């Protein structure tokens, strides 16, 4: 059941998909419609669960599922298939976890990890640079630890 983000518990599961490029304004309405349609049908056979999403910075698709036992391998597979369809349709990468997203001024940058390490080495980004930790797992972590300085993230080990 698709609900407002605020209706989800702090323990709701989260999946973050960073796009390799910003979504164009002309794509946003269709993307919102596709995500909403997917979420409306994203349930297990045995139990309906609460779901929501956010499309942030015109770059991140964030899916939330609030369920005790309803999230199964089949449920997760369905979401991955949906994300793969979006990748193909919009010619973007959404599943590559070896890339880094970080803020540079008001802009969100997307770099391969090896290029990000070079930026750190050359001091083009610092420990205070805000990075997005796309490996977090709950709504509570999303609200508190998704956007953090490099020094407070797992990327800090590269400093």
Burial of 17 (0-12, 13-18, 19+ CB in 10 A): buried
Structure confidence at residue 71 (pLDDT): 80
Structure confidence at residue 49 (pLDDT): 85
What is the value of pTM for the model shown? 0.92
Domain ranges of the chain: 5-90, 99-158
Q: What is the mean pLDDT of residues 138-159?
A: 93
Band of residue 47 on the pLDDT scale cut at 50, 70, 90: low
Distance between CA atoms of 30 and 88, rounded to whole angstroms? 14
Across 103-124, b (16+ Cβ under 10 Å) vs e yields eeeeebbbbeeeebeebbeeee
Distance between CA atoms of 78 and 145, rounded to whole angstroms? 27
Structure confidence at residue 154 (pLDDT): 87
pLDDT by residue (tens digit) across 117-144? 999 999 999 999 999 999 899 999 999 9
Instruction: State yes or no: pLDDT of 69 exceeds 80.
Output: no
pLDDT by residue (tens digit) across 73-99? 888 899 999 999 999 999 999 998 789
pLDDT by residue (tens digit) across 53-63? 999 999 999 99
Structure confidence at residue 45 (pLDDT): 58
């Amino acid at each position: 059941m698709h609900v407002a983000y605020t209706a989800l518990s702090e323990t709701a599961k989260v999946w973050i998909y960073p796009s390799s490029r910003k979504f164009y304004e002309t794509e946003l309405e269709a993307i919102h419609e596709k995500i909403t349609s997917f979420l409306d049908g994203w349930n297990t056979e045995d139990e309906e669960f609460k779901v929501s999403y956010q499309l942030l910075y015109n770059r991140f698709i964030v899916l939330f599922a609030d369920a005790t036992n309803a999230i199964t391998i089949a449920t997760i597979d369905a979401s991955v298939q949906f994300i793969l369809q979006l990748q193909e349709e919009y010619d973007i990468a959404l599943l590559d976890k070896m890339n880094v997203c970080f803020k540079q001024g008001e802009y969100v940058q997307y770099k391969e990890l090896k290029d990000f390490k070079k930026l750190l080495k050359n001091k083009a980004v610092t420990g205070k640079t805000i990075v997005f930790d796309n490996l977090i797992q709950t709504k509570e972590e999303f609200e508190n630890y998704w956007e953090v300085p490099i020094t407070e993230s797992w990327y800090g080990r590269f400093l």
